[in-house]
Amino acid sequence: MTAQNSSDPAIPLGVLSEAFIAKATSRDLRVGIVGLGYVGLPLAEAFVLQGLPVVGFDIDDSKVKMLGGGKSYIKHISDERIAAMYAAGKFAATTDFAKLKQVDAILICVPTPLGEHREPDLSYVVATTQNIAEHVQPGQLIILESTTYPGTSEEVLQPILEQGGLKAGVDFAIAYSPEREDPGNPNYDTSSIPKVVGASSDLERNMACALYNAIVPTVPVSNLRTAEAVKLTENIFRAVNIALVNELKVVFGAMDIDVWEVIEAAKTKPFGYMAFYPGPGLGGHCIPIDPFYLTWKARAYGLNTRFIELAGEINSSMPGHVVDRLGEAMNKHLGLAMKGARVLIVGLAYKKNVDDMRESPALDLIHKLKARGMKVEYSDPYIPVAPSIREHPEVEGMKSVPWTQEALSQFDVALIATDHDNVDYTPLLAAVDLVVDTRNAIKQRSDKVVQA
């Protein structure tokens, strides 16, 4: 795609969109994906597998070099899959954002964390959009996939993109389609999860649907704000229900009732019940963060999201509850105080079968246990060395303890924070006198295993 000469009469977006849709149908459309992380990289692969050429953009030169060498930096995406993308001749990764001029569609897949006071941090989105604005071309489609509050596409992206004189809906198109990744879930991947698509006009929505229909069924909605609200609703639903079952865990525990047994029995009801499971707290890039995007935006309308905020408080309190339970169990079963004792955190990732530590409750557990004077180490087969974590500098450089009976026997107590499927807990039970299990990883109940 080449830039339109300023002296030429403007070609209507309606005409350009026809060419766009035709190219999408024939698999000639060139896709640009900004942000090659847990969302962007699988999305790139999905397009490549359907024959569409993809250019991946990332500011991290080390990632680009790894991909160029056929190497993956994400555990559940193998090196072989990366090599196959390049072998197909349909994929390239770059740090050169000037090449955005050469693509037909630009998909933004960058982080949207929370700030210090739980306010939306759109700095990555803004910086990316400013880069795109320098290179935006007539007829291009720009789609935000990052989770955010309703109104972001219109209030933040559109003004930045229009700074060069081109107008959304007139010269180029904007759409929103929330990412729906579930890393490590073998039952669903990018190509099997329908894509919600919202835009301000039928023309822009049709362009976005044509793009995504090349890889997956689409669910069009009436506008950008509705699509942005869909993603928040999905994750708020999960956060609230996890908070409910976490609260039940605490209540039932006080009554000497096994919450896991309750859930297993309750889910035999074929209607009106959906099983959610308790844990040591919320983790990942979505569920602990997304609900507060709506909470923040609601305040602009003079509204309070009390239900959502209560759920957040309950989920945020879980690491403290677990630490208290661990202290009680040590005193009761081992006659030990926490100060000076050695504890092994089993699992550093935020969920099973991934190497992703974002917002992992294990990080908060380590912080709280060290504050109680405990000597803390961890073991996780997917994270041999803990990387730099801005909020938890004390974790950086920690190395995973070998999963051998000799190494495990050095600990007074083990705390299971993540239940990876490939972990055999037999050596742990043989080596450690007390295991505090937050995930129901050890199904066989005994005096040595305490639920938390």
Q: From residue 99, how far is each of 39, 57, 73, 166, 435 by CA, in Å?
A: 21, 9, 23, 18, 53
Hey, which residues does 173 pair with through a beta bridge? 141
Round to whole Å and give the CA distance between 379 and 381: 7
| CB burial readout 388-397, b (16+ within 10 A) else e | eeeebeebee
| CB burial readout 269-281, b (16+ within 10 A) else e | eeeeeeebebbbb
Q: Tell me if 130 sits within 8 A of 93, measured CB to CB.
A: no
Q: What is the dihedral of CA 78, 83, 84, 90, to 10 degrees?
A: 130
Round to whole Å and give the CA distance between 436 and 446: 11
Query: In 70-216, which ranges are continuous DSSP H helix?
Result: 79-87, 123-133, 152, 158-161, 202-213
Q: Tell me if 383 sits within 8 A of 74, measured CB to CB.
A: no
Catalytic pick from 157, 208, 286, 442?
A: 286
| CB burial readout 22-48, b (16+ within 10 A) else e | ebbeeeebbbbbbbbbbbbbbbbbbbb
Round to whole Å and give the CA distance between 154 and 175: 10
286 in active site:
yes
Catalytic residues: 286
